[in-house]
Amino acid sequence: MSCVFRHGETACFCVFAEGLLSCSSHGRLCPSSSSISQRNNSSSAKLIVDHDQTTGVAVMHMQSPPVNSLSLDFLTEICITLEKLEMDKGCRGLIITSNQPKVFSAGLDILEMYGKSPERCGEFWKAVQEMWLKLYGSNMVTIAAINGSSPAGGCLMSMTCDYRIMADNPRYSIGLNETMLGIVAPFWFKETMVNTVGHRNTEMSLELGLLYKPAEALKIGLVDQLVPEDQVLSAATQTMTKWLAIPEHARQITKSMMRKPTIDKLCSNREADIQNFVSFITKESIQKSLRMYMEMLKQKKA
Ligand code: CO8
């Protein structure tokens, strides 16, 4: 597992050992038990982190081909990176973006939910929870620079951020489309959306599995700003400057006040939520739905 950290002009390559996911139960983190060692090979890196020490802003570029789908490995890598940034006092803001063309993230890796053992499904779901807890509970200012489509888990990831800027390209879409796969968005996906776009919009979105074009997403408040595609990152950087000018302690406490009830709810139900997921996803009827959805994706491509 590896990621590339770039500090200012100097790039350094770090590899983290496994073992984070048992460490913390939510975003504000206990010290990491993972070890860090130096490595000069970045060829398998799925994440590039550009950390500008002068501004205190890190940009996390996802580059897990072809579509940044969130596999167990990728989720673990993201969690380890988030933990490292969260603990770094020199990092106050995080921008999340994609290095893959046309896609921010295709959401959870469907192959992690198809034909896998209950144990493996449980491990996967724990990693999904962990990523959400780390992002939703982050003390950093977080901005999603959505430079491509962002369905399901990709939309969830965006919604955990404090602010969302999307490329104004009608070929892209964003939303929680779980029902289209024959699956049900868990309560904390639902609550993240309610906290973002309100109850009525969430109800419609989730029941119909809606994927919104950027202009529609802006209209319901699923994203905060649209900009031309080549300006997504620069707009995120500009917005970050404004957010970082707010007195930090007051902003952090306010964020926590807004999000804590939802975070606490998952924290006190983690094991039950894992069990729910495992028993749901391993059902024969759900496995069939996932298989049909994957076939549909392939046909669409053909
Ligand atoms: N997982 C795994 N593989 C994927 C995924 C995915 N989520 N999305 C796409 N792929 C694969 C495709 O099958 C294809 O594979 P191959 O090259 O072998 O044929 C490859 O990635 C490229 O895909 P496309 O050709 O479709 O790429 P495009 O650039 O044309 O389109 C999109 C990109 C728009 C992202 C498109 O791929 C897409 O719509 N993907 C599906 C997105 C989706 O529906 N994700 C839902 C995942 S489920 C989830 O996140 C929440 C689940 C909550 C579970 C709760 C249970 C209780």
For the domain that residue 226 is a member of, what is the CATH number?
3.90.226.10
- Residue 118 placed within a domain: yes
Cβ proximity of 176 and 155 under 8 Å = yes
Going from the Cα of 136 to the center of ligand 1, the distance in angstroms, rounded, reads: 23
Query: Is the CB of 15 inside a 6 Å radius of any atom of ligand 1?
Result: no
Q: Give the pLDDT confidence score for residue 4 in this predicted structure.
A: 55
- Residue 266 placed within a domain: yes
Closest residue by Cα to atom 1, ligand 1, is: 109
- Asked if 153 is an active-site residue, the reply is yes
pTM (predicted TM-score): 0.90
Q: Which residue reads 């983690």 in tokens?
A: 270
- Residue 36 placed within a domain: no
Crossing angle (nearest 10°) for helices 118-136 and 270-281: 130
Nearest atom, ligand 1, residue 293 CA: 44
Nearest atom, ligand 1, residue 181 CA: 44
62, 67, 78, 191, best to mutate for ligand 1 pocket (most atoms within 8 Å of CB): 67
Query: Is the CB of 187 inside a 6 Å radius of any atom of ligand 1?
Result: no
Cβ proximity of 214 and 166 under 8 Å = yes
- Residue 117 placed within a domain: yes
Q: Give the pLDDT confidence score for residue 45 in this predicted structure.
A: 85
Nearest CA among 155, 173, 147 for reference residue 60: 147
Nearest atom, ligand 1, residue 300 CA: 26
Question: Cα–Cα distance between 25 and 33 in angstroms, integer?
Answer: 14
- Residue 247 placed within a domain: yes
HSE toward the beta carbon, residue 161, CA cutoff 13 A: 27
Q: Give the pLDDT confidence score for residue 35 in this predicted structure.
A: 29
Instruction: Give per-10-residue mean pLDDT for the chain (302 aa).
Output: 48 34 38 30 70 96 97 97 96 98 98 97 98 98 98 98 98 97 95 98 98 98 98 98 98 98 98 97 96 93 76
Nearest CA among 57, 93, 129 for reference residue 252: 93
Count: domains in the chain: 1
- Residue 105 placed within a domain: yes
- Residue 81 placed within a domain: yes
Structural domain boundaries enclosing 172? 47-292
- Residue 31 placed within a domain: no
- Asked if 108 is an active-site residue, the reply is yes
Q: Give the pLDDT confidence score for residue 29 in this predicted structure.
A: 33
